Structure 1
């Protein structure tokens, strides 16, 4: 029994395990908040970026979402199938535009994002949530 307590203490001081624990918790909250949109949180954020900047390139989406281009391609494929976005070729580049249905989801997506913010702020406290977000963003930028 005592060994288990020691093991937990070791893992509690490991950034890798601690960040993954946080990631699982915030992912559950995000999935709950975005459930009403019928989209995963990542699909919803991608669509929100496309709505904000029609004609955005796949490489810009990959950069903004901190994902590999091949992953972005899969996300785009799913949103194309749902008729929420469309691709238009411009030379070698593929530009992404929202459809009317995609644009019409913007308010619902923003509402889900606000719900997520309210939900984690209720648990962490609004200032602590903002501070944690800033600290994690800065650490991620430094580690990249």
Structure 2
């Protein structure tokens, strides 16, 4: 089995997914304090920081498909955290006062997540890894 482990660990697909599972578990634990999933929390963070943001911009920032972002916005609107205003074909998303109240708990969870993986990886190493992964995503995404 020694060779199989090496083969798997030398595979970007395998190692990226393994890392995603570990960091997702950590994020879910940290963001659970907000009552939101990490994805919903990041959506709220963007809307709170950019009231009136368009769904297209949300898609770009979250790196998600329009249908996924629409589903997230619908869920958060149904919970009373967001509202939509239509401008022709465009839809603008705004936080409600209840959604604005989530700002600090979300920021605390985000900080907690960063501190948690920084304790394990080291702050400099964790931040460097984040930059490298983002750059790899951009290159691979553009290459199609």
Shorter-chain TM-score above 0.5 = yes
Instruction: State how 1:8-27 maps to structure 2 within 5 Å.
Output: 8-27=5-24
Shift of 1:46: 0.3
Structure 1 unaligned runs (5+)? none
What is the count of residue pairs matched by the alignment? 141
1:61 is aligned to 58
One of 85, 90, 96 as aligned partner of 2:87? 90
TM-score normalised by structure 2 residue count: 0.97
1:33 is aligned to 30
2:133 is aligned to 136
1:50 is aligned to 47
Task: Give CA deviations for 1:100-142 in whole Å, capped at 9, x if unaligned.
Answer: 0000110000000000000000110101001100110111111
TM-score normalised by structure 1 residue count: 0.97
Task: Give CA deviations for 1:12-53 in whole Å, capped at 9, x if unaligned.
Answer: 000000000000000000000000100000100000100011
The whole-number CA distance in structure 2 between the counterparts of 1:131 and 1:92 is: 40
Q: Secondary structure at the match of 2:91?
A: strand
When the two chains are superposed, the root-mean-square deviation of aligned CA atoms in Å is 0.5
The whole-number CA distance in structure 2 between the counterparts of 1:131 and 1:93 is: 37
Q: Which runs of 4+ in 1 moved over 3 A?
A: none
Structure 2 unaligned runs (5+)? none
